Structure 1
Amino acid sequence: MKTTWQNPPTLLLITGLSLAGLSLSLPQIALSQSPPPSSLPHPESLIANFTDDLAEADQLFEQVEQLYDQGKYNEAIPLAERMLRLYQNVHGEDHLDISYSLNYLGLLYQNQGRYEQAEPFYRQALEMYKRLLGEEHPDVAASLHNLAALYDSQGRYSDAEPLFRQALQMLKRLLGEEHPDVAISLNNLANLYSSQGRYSDAEPLYRQALEMKKRLLGEEHPSVATSLNNLALLYQSQGRYSEAEPLYLQALEMRKRLLGEEHPDVANSLHNLALLYQNQGRYSEAEPLYRQALEMRKRLLGEEHPSVASSLHNLANLYSSQGRYSDAEPLLRQALEMYKRLLGEEHPDVATSLHNLAFLYSSQGRYSDAEPLYRQALEMDKRLLGEEHPDVASSLNNLALLYQSQGRYSDAEPLYRQALEMRKRLLGEEHPSVATSLNNLALLYQSQGRYSDAEPLYRQALEMKKRLLGEEHPDVATSLNDLAFLYSSQGRYSEAEPLYRQALAMRKRLLGEEHPDVATSLNNLALLYQGQERYSDAEPLYVQALAMRKRLLGEEHPLVALSLNNLAGLYQSQGRYSEAEPLLRQALEMYRR
């Protein structure tokens, strides 16, 4: 009789979480001004042509800006390219209008995931700003920020950090320590640290940015709401859900007051709160928020917008968590097709969509459908992000998990090892994703009966999670659970029981009494008691886990079938065959469906 443990693969989910940045980071320049006549020693007809070109370029700028806001990057790029050519025709090679256009093209390509094409535009814009404005200018700092953000998107954290720091110091020198742009710069550096799992470095910067915005902009300002949102996201990443929720709610209410009920940032707040509830297993509270955010985005941004695709993705993921696979699949397919239309076939978000659809198929045991999608996503990640990127490591991890599910252990092990080594190189030895890779490799060894290989990896992952995430984090409870399961598999029951109990108590404290992970802990502790023939101790736990899974996940969830199967196995062990048979039949019918 097998149990289950909560050690999901690393999924690359499009969450739509609202992080503050330098918006477009574009300087405010007068695009409608014609060059002064003294600088145009040309015939009148040529001056007229230049004036016409300038007018067309200004008009194109408005169109590009509108298309960008609509998420129609493919349509915007050719217009932005023509805008650049027109400004070059009017101004020559060095002019702020040209640097502005270069910066915009970099932004458009970055949003399409075309990072290699974006970088030269950002670099050209940066060098031009330096020539025209001098090395020390706020627009130079903005350009440094944009280039750093690009590197962050590519997982090039060591390249991004010095640029973020350089921009921050420049803004402090030019604008003073107390300026809103300094707060935004602090926020962006904190985002980078958070991406690297450097939460203790990120938190003081987020707090400093929040307090600075309150002082400079007032307590009631949209930028303050964004800082509250980002601090909440940090807490959520650390499993500090009780601290995250009030900040999310505060940001949501503030945005409603300041921006109105119908605003994209309100939709983002609803989306983020829904994701928090989903992580807590509060599915009935998460679904209406996801739906509300989805409908709002459709109304405000149009049916065809990347944020709409993001909403479809996360609603589908919620359904998948509940075992509602037939509800999830059409949404994932819809999101995938939308990303392809809006962002092009070759975009990281398309790769993410392929990953999530593959994971759905894998969850249903449709391994032959899942594998080609995982492989396609892996190759796409390599092409778009480069061989050395954290998302490539996640792709390798997910493909390895698929092979492990199929019992293809010899195929899975080299992929897990490759993902582990890549994460160490890219993220550093001390990162939560490294702990996840250690845990996954240990799980593989356990599946092969290689217990002496698995145990040190489980212990290393557990200690790393405690150091990085704190003693009180759901992932620590998961590691305790997995180590206990290893001991139980070896018949080391006296060592397993206290770990199972510790994981159960921790999950109740951190996630609440009503959470799927609590049901899993009850199930695993019951299995331990069954192995010790402590049947009277095991039965109430199995019954409690079954009832909880029905309430939280629905009657037709695979984990409900597993609970039925486990309870039937207990009855069989006691010779209570008449009670076991209907449960086994019920579980079998569910598996067939």
Structure 2
Amino acid sequence: MRLILMTATCLLIQLVLAQASYAQLSPASQQRINQLYQQLQQLEAQENYAAMLPVQNEILKIGQRELGDFTTEMAYEWNYLGNIYMALGQYSQAKAPILHALRVRRQQLGEDHRETGESYFNAALVLSNLGEYEKSEEYYIEALRIANKIVGPEDLDTLQIMNNLALLYARLSKYEEAKRLHNIVLKARTRVAGANSEHVGESLLNLGVVAQSLGEYDAAKDYYSRALAIFKAKLGDNHQYTLQVMNNMARVYYDLEDVDRALDLDRQVYAARVRAFGKDHIDVGESLNNLAYDLEYKEEYETAQDLYQQALDIFIKHLGENDAYVQMTMLNLAGIKQQLGEPEEALALAEKAVRIRRETLGEDHPLVAEALLGLGGLHLMAGRLDLAQQTIEKSYSVLHDTYGDNHPKNLAALFALCWIQMEREEWDDVLEMSDKIRRLVRTTAARLMAGLSPQEQLRLLKSDIHQDFAFTIAWQQMDNPAYVTASADWLINDKGMSQATLAARETLMRDTGDAESKALGQQLLDIRRQLASAVLTTPKGDQAEAQRKKVDQLTEQESEITRRLSLKVGQSIELERWIELDDVRDALARDETLITWIRFQPVDFEKAKKTSISHLLPARYLAWIIPPAGQGEIQLVDLGLAEEIDASIEKARAEITAAGKKDGTINKQGEPEAEKKLRAALEAVTKQVWLPVAEHIRPDTKRLNLSPDGALWLVPWAALPLEGDRYLIEEYAFRLLISGRELVEETREPSQNRPLVFANPTFDLTPQKVIDAIKAIFRDFKFDPNANRGLVSQTAIRKVPTLPNTELEAEAISPSLEKIVGKPPTKYMRQYALESVVKRVHQPRMLVLSTHGYFLPDQQAKTSDHVAGVGNSRSASLIAADGKPIENPLLRCGLLLAGCNQPPSGGDDGVLTGLEIVGLDLRGTELVVLSACETGVGKVQIGEGIAGLRQAFQLAGAHSVVATLWQVPDRDSAVLMRDFFEQMAEDQTPADALRAAQLQRIESRRERYGAAHPYFWAAWTFTGKSGSK
């Protein structure tokens, strides 16, 4: 997708200025130069920039001969030559003349001259396109300073420089800064040029691009629509800017997987470009390429093939076969031909693309490597394994030499080699390669995430196609102990990675308290942005070596600043460290066992190897039973189809919550009968997810560490029925873990600060009373009406009822909290149970939040039965099955606090999202208790939000979290929480205290009612570190 970026320089204007400056030339030279200028004017009017080069070079020769090289007149000519090269897109060639003009003007005219400012601007533009972003930013800022001084901050040229600086920030993924500058430019242009000017249209277009990059699709569509209205009114329906906005809008719809609307817009743009330029124009070729891409998505391969071919013919005619866009189209067409069963034609095209790139770029260029990878994929699908291996190994060699070991561009080549090994049934090699890939995935995701936009972060995490491959192989090799052990290692390191990496930016900025640390933190984020941009961009032409050096330099800087910042904040801020399985097993006590599950979709290898896509089978659950070191082998168990297990869990959950209603089975039939009915539903879950695992647990096991996945997070593990009318909690002590990594990760010493309790929030508090309450607590509080809300998910949260009994619960547990910590708790209740107060907590020893929690419906990506595979570069889907954009899961869970029923337009909205929770300072917080009622908006099936909320508190620094799976009657909640804290006050660990409180409820209800229905006691779960006595 090409974006029109209007620049402040105009070749014709420069030409007129230069022409007026040659009075000192000889008459013959003046006459010749005037003739040459006339030629330039004609050629520029025809946009024949290539023909302008020899004309301009002749002018330069005349000027150099008679004037020398360091005059202001010659600076014009060098600047003009650079602009011709830029018009041709030849930025490498433009660099030298543009920088020479800048040197001359600085020397002859000084730093504050208008023409010097123009040269700074042009130099910044060239360097930006060459990836030299730091220098480009420096030059844009200097150009902006000069323009502000000479013509003022609201001159259109000044605003153009600021516009381009914002474009640079967007390229560096500094989207918030880009958005801020674009908005400044938009407001100023509106004042200076008018709300319906082309300048305003450009600003709206650029804001649309930023919004699209951030995944803010509604905002992007709004900006594009407004820009489109301006360009249509000012320039007409067929102007290139009008059509470019429509083209961008089509790409928004494509990202949203509304391909029919994208196709409709692309067809309109194509028709308009044909009307404006005829069928034989490069812009028409771009439209044909977009149409082909749309139709390829819709699997209309024959039509897509025809359109790709038409586009290719146009590109070859106008750009020549040596253009990268031409070769990319060749490779697209090759993929289509493979899909249509034309392997020989596909192979010929791919080989041609490789040959051309080799001839133009050299053997060892990364673009050659990418073409070789596509060619190798075709060989692989055709069963030519030796050729495939030879080709892909060459691709990997170039990529590795260019980018180094830990680079995401290596992943596709390694994956393809792994596939070849699988085809040959070289299982030892497959295992070694898969292990290498899983480690590389973690390293690259952790290192790049902070430098990407939210949308790019999600796309990177969801594009890990090797994960399904790796666990499919492990599933098929269940009888091979080496695969069982290695896959357990992969799972321990994969689990929880997405939330941890998505939250890295928030925890980093939270941990940088003093000025020096903040400066280091911001420097680290800037370097990571540059690193992500450099790593994920394929270098042009001869820039490969320069980019490799840049990546190496940034990597070294990133490592050094990470080390310094870790020392400053007192803990490691590295995310990419791989935890070895042996360390996890060593951390298990002799009476412990770790059980970890995965919900995944196996790859259908028989179908996948025939095409360039990986066909997926229905999802399944697998379980690994991991004993302590020296206490037996790891076992892998296939639990069966996820759909059947998920249905059983949902049925059991529905039975539990229905039983507790006023007209439920407990009130209607009595607790003993209701318990029997529930046991029948829970026994189905036990048979599916527990009994196949239990037979592999050692008899001397007393403690379980359970790491669920998918809907297993919704299982009331404590209430799984065993023989003899007993429950799992009566047989084992257990805790839940996000990942087995938690068993070996460092834990900060417990804080000695007061415990904090939030209870009974006034949900209907008006916005003004929210402000008054905050001011009563924080004298320095300043309300910002323009502040963004807490980035709560796009799905609305309904109004919630009050929780008056939570205040009684808070009072009941206060004595025990004081006994545990040695200090009385600080309580924030009613109108003071505010989001703003929670956000300012500082390392409390314990934090109790008695309020509603929300978990929005799980988002599952909109997919068919296949995803991108070897030789196919289609991006991962970021659209949910309901057609809405996939969101950061930490935005889809959270807590509701005072004022949430009447949120203001900005500031404290009473909705504390998981992403905001990550930013809380809970380092050293031993325990967070969410004594909350679930207000799930819609149907929660997979459990991502449940797990996400708990993990958010752990990422913020909390050692452990106690939370509930369903709404519990206030009285029963208060009693259990009282017993829980009393047990802790008697020196029990938090995990053991919760179990003791639950066992006490079971015993009490059995004595009193002859039954102990899990509805009253099994909702509470303990996640995280068990704590110490």
Q: Indicate whether the TM-score tops 0.5.
A: yes
Question: Are 2:167 and 1:191 aligned?
Answer: yes
Q: Which residue of 1 aligns with 2:881?
A: none
Could you tell me which amino acid in structure 2 is paired with residue 252 of structure 1?
Answer: L
Q: Is the 8 Å Cα contact of residues 77 and 108 (structure 1) preserved in structure 2?
A: yes
Q: Is the 8 Å Cα contact of residues 102 and 121 (structure 1) preserved in structure 2?
A: yes
Q: Is the 8 Å Cα contact of residues 392 and 413 (structure 2) preserved in structure 1?
A: no
Q: Which residue of 1 aligns with 2:808?
A: none
Please list the CA deviations of residues 236-276 of structure 1 after superposition, one character each: whole Å capped at 9, or x if unmatched: 33444333222222221222233232321101111111122
Cα distance, 1:286 vs. partner? 1.4
Distance 1:444 1:532, change over 3 A: farther
Q: Which residue of 2 aligns with 1:268?
A: 244
Q: Is the 8 Å Cα contact of residues 389 and 417 (structure 2) preserved in structure 1?
A: yes
Distance 1:114 1:267, change over 3 A: same
Q: How does 1:54-453 map to 2 (within 5 A)?
A: 55-68=34-47, 72-81=48-57, 99-130=75-106, 133-157=109-133, 160-197=136-173, 199=175, 202-361=178-337, 364=340, 366=343, 367-379=346-358, 382=361, 394-395=370-371, 398=374, 407=385, 408-409=388-389, 411-413=391-393, 415-416=395-396, 418-419=398-399, 422-423=402-403, 434-435=407-408, 437-438=410-411, 441=414, 444-445=417-418, 448=421, 449-450=430-431, 451-453=434-436
Cα distance, 1:393 vs. partner? 6.7
Distance 1:348 1:466, change over 3 A: closer
Could you tell me which amino acid in structure 1 is paired with residue 298 of structure 2?
Answer: Q
Cα distance, 1:63 vs. partner? 0.9
SS of the residue corresponding to residue 2 of structure 2 reads coil
Cα distance, 1:228 vs. partner? 2.2
Q: How does 1:29-68 map to 2 (within 5 A)?
A: 30=16, 46=27, 52-53=31-32, 55-68=34-47
How many positions carry a matched residue from both structures? Answer: 495
Distance 1:478 1:168, change over 3 A: same
* Residue of structure 2 aligned with 1:470, choices 454, 457, 482: 454
SS of the residue corresponding to residue 618 of structure 2 reads helix
Q: Is the 8 Å Cα contact of residues 381 and 391 (structure 1) preserved in structure 2?
A: no
SS of the residue corresponding to residue 620 of structure 2 reads helix
Q: Quote the Cα distance in structure 2 between the aligned partners of 1:538 and 1:439.
A: 33
Could you tell me which amino acid in structure 1 is paired with residue 41 of structure 2?
Answer: E
Q: Is the 8 Å Cα contact of residues 26 and 139 (structure 1) preserved in structure 2?
A: no
Could you tell me which amino acid in structure 1 is paired with residue 395 of structure 2?
Answer: L
Q: Which residue of 1 aligns with 2:437?
A: 454
Q: Which residue of 2 aligns with 1:512?
A: none
Q: Quote the Cα distance in structure 2 between the aligned partners of 1:352 and 1:279.
A: 20
Cα distance, 1:333 vs. partner? 3.5
Question: Are 2:618 and 1:526 aligned?
Answer: yes
Q: Is the 8 Å Cα contact of residues 319 and 327 (structure 1) preserved in structure 2?
A: yes
Please list the CA deviations of residues 544-591 of structure 1 after superposition, one character each: whole Å capped at 9, or x if unmatched: x9x9869xxxxxxxx9xxxxxxxxxxxxxxxxxxxxxxxxxxxxxxxx
Q: Quote the Cα distance in structure 1 between the aligned partners of 2:618 and 2:372.
A: 34
Could you tell me which amino acid in structure 2 is paired with residue 470 of structure 1?
Answer: P
Q: How does 1:481-560 map to 2 (within 5 A)?
A: 482-484=466-468, 486-491=470-475, 524=616, 526-528=618-620, 533-534=640-641, 537=644
More helix by share: 1
Distance 1:190 1:35, change over 3 A: closer
Please list the CA deviations of residues 1-52 of structure 1 after superposition, one character each: whole Å capped at 9, or x if unmatched: xxxxxxxxxxxxxx23223433547755645976798x57x7xxx5xx5665
Please list the CA deviations of residues 357-395 of structure 1 after superposition, one character each: whole Å capped at 9, or x if unmatched: 444445556352243134135325626xx967x756755
Could you tell me which amino acid in structure 2 is paired with residue 262 of structure 1?
Answer: N
Q: Is the 8 Å Cα contact of residues 225 and 250 (structure 1) preserved in structure 2?
A: yes
Q: Quote the Cα distance in structure 2 between the aligned partners of 1:24 and 1:33.
A: 14
Q: Which residue of 1 aligns with 2:5?
A: 19
Q: Quote the Cα distance in structure 2 between the aligned partners of 1:235 and 1:437.
A: 30
Q: Is the 8 Å Cα contact of residues 88 and 98 (structure 1) preserved in structure 2?
A: yes
Q: Is the 8 Å Cα contact of residues 238 and 273 (structure 2) preserved in structure 1?
A: no
Cα distance, 1:352 vs. partner? 3.8
Higher mean C-alpha deviation, range 464-473 or range 211-220: 464-473
Please list the CA deviations of residues 43-69 of structure 1 after superposition, one character each: whole Å capped at 9, or x if unmatched: xxx5xx56654553442232122122x
Q: Is the 8 Å Cα contact of residues 619 and 643 (structure 2) preserved in structure 1?
A: no
SS of the residue corresponding to residue 526 of structure 1 reads coil
Q: Quote the Cα distance in structure 1 between the aligned partners of 2:29 and 2:62.
A: 9
SS of the residue corresponding to residue 46 of structure 2 reads helix
SS of the residue corresponding to residue 8 of structure 2 reads coil
Distance 1:528 1:73, change over 3 A: farther
Cα distance, 1:473 vs. partner? 5.4
Q: Quote the Cα distance in structure 2 between the aligned partners of 1:275 and 1:165.
A: 32
Q: Quote the Cα distance in structure 2 between the aligned partners of 1:457 and 1:289.
A: 39
Cα distance, 1:288 vs. partner? 2.4
Cα distance, 1:282 vs. partner? 1.7
Q: Is the 8 Å Cα contact of residues 20 and 187 (structure 1) preserved in structure 2?
A: no
Cα distance, 1:103 vs. partner? 3.3
Distance 1:61 1:329, change over 3 A: same
Q: Quote the Cα distance in structure 2 between the aligned partners of 1:61 and 1:214.
A: 35
Q: Is the 8 Å Cα contact of residues 285 and 315 (structure 2) preserved in structure 1?
A: yes
Cα distance, 1:278 vs. partner? 1.9
Q: Quote the Cα distance in structure 1 between the aligned partners of 2:118 and 2:370.
A: 31
Q: Quote the Cα distance in structure 1 between the aligned partners of 2:368 and 2:93.
A: 20
Distance 1:53 1:271, change over 3 A: same
Distance 1:50 1:76, change over 3 A: closer
- Percent of aligned positions that are identical: 25
- Compare relative contact order (CA 8 Å, sep 6+) and give the higher one, 1 or 2: 1
Could you tell me which amino acid in structure 2 is paired with residue 469 of structure 1?
Answer: S
Q: Is the 8 Å Cα contact of residues 620 and 642 (structure 2) preserved in structure 1?
A: no
Q: Quote the Cα distance in structure 2 between the aligned partners of 1:209 and 1:387.
A: 43
Q: How does 1:570-585 map to 2 (within 5 A)?
A: none
Please list the CA deviations of residues 290-327 of structure 1 after superposition, one character each: whole Å capped at 9, or x if unmatched: 12222323333454443233222222222333333332
Q: Quote the Cα distance in structure 2 between the aligned partners of 1:418 and 1:305.
A: 35
Q: Quote the Cα distance in structure 1 between the aligned partners of 2:390 and 2:646.
A: 38
Q: Quote the Cα distance in structure 2 between the aligned partners of 1:282 and 1:34.
A: 55
Cα distance, 1:456 vs. partner? 2.2
TM-score (structure 2 length as normaliser):
0.41
Q: Quote the Cα distance in structure 2 between the aligned partners of 1:470 and 1:360.
A: 31
